[in-house]
Structure 1
Amino acid sequence: MVQPRKHFGFPGGAGIVLSLMWLVRATASVQFDASPSVACTPAEADERRVLISSHEKLIEARVQISSLVSSGKFAEIQGLFYQFASPERNLQIVDYLPKTTMGTDFGGNIAIEQVDEQTGQIGLGATLGFPQPAQPNVNVSRGTRTQSAVRYELLPPRELLAAAGTTGRGTGAYFKLRPSQQIALEGSREFVLIMQVPKDWRGDYLRLVCTAYGEPRNGQMTTLGQAAFLIPLYAAGDEEARQLADDLSRAERNFLHVVRQQAHEVARRSQPTLVHELSLVGRVIPEDWISRLVYQPLSAAEPPAFVRHLPPVVREAASDYDSAKRQLHDLAGTYLATTGVAAEQL
């Protein structure tokens, strides 16, 4: 059973919402949710026209993303932007769905008719004067009228409904959706990623950032909602990998629960003295500490310096979460960056 992802509110001050791995402003009018974990199935290289070595394979991940307009008007939303990335840059995305799509609201071609009408008239008049009172008048005229019509059809104007592509030299992918009669901005939508991985790949995770944007203001895009997630991936049928993916989800939920409980204590430790409160010196714990802690590379030699200022219970939950990430990432196989071949196969 899929567990819905919860948003937690923090008491006091400006409203802040904790959405999985990120703190975002509660002024957002669009909320997001995503699959808690994804079972990856084999994908055929021939169907994708992708050349891979005998030391590699293709896997397919189907990620469900939901969007909900919780406040505001649909007309305010100019589009949704979804961005996937491999935090350790070891997953190579070779294909994806949906593709870039053009569309139109017209049901068929547009009929055009141009009518050209010309008229002409020639007149001749004369007055004959005589000494007699009567003055006869002679007038001769001739008119012509020409009308022509040209009828033809034009293809209806097409607009960009969905744009998609890769980022990070193929280690990420993005999807940009615009509102139209063909695309609904609310509800659940499936996104498919085809990834090239080592032959011994069994599991890993992706980072997903969801953004709803509105009309630009002062030359900058306005954000109507944003959330970020870590999506655990595991090979379908691999029970151990599935268990590690579930462990990461549980560690994630526990970490968020502890952060919510310790919100006031973290705020107090962020500005422990009056000098900090007056902003005369920087915060001991930065405002974006959660995203910096969660998304630090696994290759980092040491945790960020601010970690030692966190409450002990938060440090413990963060450590458990980091351990769960590392255990799942250990199933990602090993590439030699210069050859793209799994090291175990050499």
Structure 2
Amino acid sequence: MLAKSSFRSVPFGLLVTLATLSSVTLAIAGPVNFDVGYRIACRDVTPDDYVGDEKLIEAKFVVSSLVAYEAENDLLQFVIRIESGDPRMTAVDYSPRTTLENTLTGGMQIERKKENDASLGANLTGKYDGIVSGNLSGGASRKDSITTKYELRSPVELIAASGTIHRGAGVYFKLKPARQTTLEGAKEYTCIFRVPRNWTRGLASVYCDALGEESSTLSPLDSRRNFARQTFRVALYLDIDADARRAAENYVASERMLRAATLQYRDSIEKATRHSPVDQLVSLVKHGRTSHGPKLDPSDLTRWPADELYRLPQEVQNAAADFRAAELRMRMWSDDFVSGN
């Protein structure tokens, strides 16, 4: 449960508004922007004849992408990775699979023709003076023609590749633009995970990368560029389990409130994340240069170490504590385990 005292000084309506504004700001920040839903209801797809003390669950991830006009012609591929982060969850199936596309509408017809032409002729004229005069002529001709026709498969190009990573801990999808497909828009990625029988909820991470080539007027050569790199945490829960659904909703609410508090106290957080003079000196000694930028990412407190949060405003500390409690509950697969029964 979220602590009721966490945001006494911050109206909940304001937090929701700030979180919405923050999402809009991030959505228009770069040439390529991804989006993934907060939670996914998973379906038990274990076959009736499945042997073992495990089960199979199906999770459908919908990843949306928005491509700015200036980046449309420079994109080479999207790379989507989905990882559970839990050794007890193993990816056993996924969709879409590797896909090839024909570059032509039909096959390529090849025709080869071979002709043999032979002829034989004779012209004989003989004359015996005063007695015989004659003219003999003969000829023979033959023409053979052989035609061979066969069809080649039209050339294909790779438009999508997929497979498992990290010994089945996750899956990857590589997408490339093609004549009949586009990288932009919403696409569904289905993962089948093998989990213990008592699994009811968990967390997954979705990593999205947009890779391309950037043309420059200053250089005759194109340079590779990462147009976007975004990470999303997604709450997974068994669709028929009410407690798991409430735990996922609590996790989503606590993350939204933490991000809203981060936006409200942005200046204080950025000040707290600056490198101290001691940090600057240590960096100068070790690396021969001083450190620049924040020590920790001020825009994503979900990844901060717990012992670093004490420097932040109390409201932000409370929100971070609520989020970590909700995250811990998502990693516990049943309320029986939480209560110790």
Alignment TM-score, normalising by the size of structure 1: 0.70
- How many angstroms apart in 2 are the aligned matches of 1:177 and 1:46? 35
Percent identity between the two aligned chains: 29
Q: AA paired with 2:239?
A: A
Which residue of structure 1 aligns with residue 31 of structure 2? 29
Secondary structure of 2:268's match?
helix
Q: 1:258 maps to which residue?
A: 261
User: Which residue, out of 53, 76, 79, partners 1:78?
Assistant: 76
Where does residue 110 of structure 1 map in the other structure?
A: 108
TM-score scaled by length of structure 2: 0.71
Distance 1:163 1:265, change over 3 A: same
Asked whether the 8 Å contact 1:117–1:147 carries over to 2, the reply is yes
Tell me if the contact between 1:36 and 1:231 (Cα under 8 Å) persists in the aligned partners.
yes
Q: Is the 8 A contact 1:202 1:333 kept in 2?
A: no
Query: How far off its partner does 1:79 sit?
Result: 1.1
Counterpart check, 1:40 vs 2:42: yes
Q: Contact 2:204–2:234 at 8 Å: present in 1 too?
A: yes
How many angstroms apart in 1 are the aligned matches of 2:246 and 2:256?
Answer: 15
Name 2:238's counterpart in structure 1: 235
Mind listing any 5+ residue stretches in structure 2 that lack a counterpart? 1-15, 119-141, 216-220, 285-289
Aligned to 1:323, which of 321, 325, 330?
A: 325
Structure 1 residue 294: Cα displacement? 3.1
Separation (CA, whole Å) in 2 of partners of 1:239 and 1:194: 21
What residue identity is the alignment partner of 1:40? C
Query: How far apart are 1:251 and its partner, in Å?
Result: 1.0
Superposed, which structure 2 residues align to 1:1-346 within 5 Å? 8=22, 18=26, 26=29, 28-45=30-47, 52-53=51-52, 55-114=53-112, 150-215=148-213, 221-271=224-274, 282=291, 286-288=295-297, 294-295=302-303, 303=305, 305-331=307-333
Shift of 1:114: 4.7
Q: 2:68 & 2:21 partners in 1: Cα distance?
A: 13
| Greater CA drift, 169-178 or 265-274 | 265-274
Deviation digits for residues 277-329 of structure 1 (CA, Å, limit 9, x no counterpart): 897554795244666x5357xxxxxx355333333333222221111111111
* Aligned-partner Cα distance in 2 for 1:7–1:277: 34
Larger gyration radius, structure 1 or structure 2: 2
> How far apart in 2 are the matches of 1:181 and 1:284?
43
What does residue 7 of structure 2 align with?
none
CA 1:7–1:206: 2 relative to 1, 3 Å: farther
Letter of the 2:308 partner, please give it.
F
Moved more, 257-266 or 226-235: 257-266
Structure 2 match to 1:123: none
Q: Distance in 1 between matches of 2:243 and 2:200?
A: 9
**SS in structure 2 opposite 1:185?**
coil
Distance 1:59 1:273, change over 3 A: closer
8 Å contact from structure 1 (residues 200, 333) kept in 2: no
Counterpart amino acid of residue 233 in structure 1: L
- Displacement of 1:168 in angstroms is 1.6
Secondary structure of the corresponding residue to residue 70 of structure 2: coil
Determine the C-alpha separation between the residues in 2 that align with 1:268 and 1:118.
Answer: 90
